[in-house]
Chains A and B, each alone.
Chain A
Amino acid sequence: MARGVNKAIIVGTLGQDPEVRYTASGSAVANLSVATNETWKDRQTGEAQERTEWHRIVMFGKLAEIAQQYLKKGSQAYFEGRIQTRKWQDQSGNDRYSTEIVANEMQMLGGRSGGGGGGAPMESGGQSQPRPERETAPIDDGFDDIPF
């Protein structure tokens, strides 16, 4: 049986510059905060409504370095990856959960945001991005042991 599909696609705008750190083995981990907006018309009043959804996006390895180099607050980009929920414990020892999108595809969109004074043009859109280490291709070994 199929193992399932877990895919998220986000086209949005960075709310802040990427935060990048490096693991002990020297590979980059980038954390991004990306906004998408949703608009609709209120049924009763007919007024336009808007809501912003913030997404935590994380990238690893080369892709994280590219994000660090070329994305910044206000940048628009396309992200594709999987949804992951991590369990952690707060100071009181309570279980907490954080959901993020682990992106393995990224493309910059829109014009180069200013700030660099119209800096050097960067062509990255069609570049094939290496998959981060954790994204090694799934092996179909035919298991079907879903734990419930």
Chain B
Amino acid sequence: MARGINKAVIVGTLGRDPEIRYSSQGNAVVNLSVATNEAWKDRETGESQERTEWHRIVIFGKLGEIASQYLKKGSQAYFEGRIKTSKWQDQSGNQRYTTEIVASEMQMLGKRPESTP
């Protein structure tokens, strides 16, 4: 039997600069906050509506380093990966869940920033 497919595709805009940290083995872990917008027309009023969805995207290793080097707040990029939900405990010991996209593909979109780091 198939194991299943778990895939997410996001084309969006970074809401802030990437945050990079390194694992104890020296592998990069990069966290991104990426916005996609959805627009529709209200059926009753005919007015345009808009909603922004924020996605937590994490990228590991070399690709993470590239992301942190070339992406910044306002950058547009394509991300492809899998959806992962992690369980953790808050200070009060309550179970909490955080869902993020672990990206394995990334492509920069739009024009290159003026000053490449």
> Which A residues contact B (CB, under 8 angstroms)?
1-13, 35-39, 53-55, 76, 78, 82-85, 90, 92, 96-99, 101, 110, 133-134, 136-141, 143, 146-148
Main SS at interface, chain B: strand
Q: How far is the CA of A42 from the CA of B46 in the complex (A)?
A: 55
Count A-B contacts at CB 8 Å: 127
Nearest residue, chain B, Cβ from A99: B99
Structural contact, A10 and B73, CB atoms closer than 8 A: no
- Residues from chain A with a CB closer than 8 A to the CB of B73 are 148
A35 / chain B contacts, CB cutoff of 8 Å: 4
Q: Are B41 and A139 in contact (CB under 8 A)?
A: yes
Tell yes or no: B115 within 8 A of A by CB: no
Query: Does A85 lie within 8 Å of B9, measured CB to CB?
Result: no
Q: Using Cβ atoms and an 8 Å threshold, which residues of chain A touch B40?
A: 134, 136-139
Q: Whole-angstrom distance between the alpha carbons of A6 and B52 in the complex?
A: 11
Which of A7, A37, A98, A140 meets B4, CB within 8 Å? A37
Chain B positions within 8 Å of A147 at CB level: 35, 52
B39 adjacent to A141 (CB under 8 Å) = yes
Q: Is the CB of A36 within 8 A of B96?
A: no
Known A-B contacts A83-B83, A146-B13; A4 and B36 likewise in contact (beta carbons under 8 Å): yes
Closest to A140 in B: B39
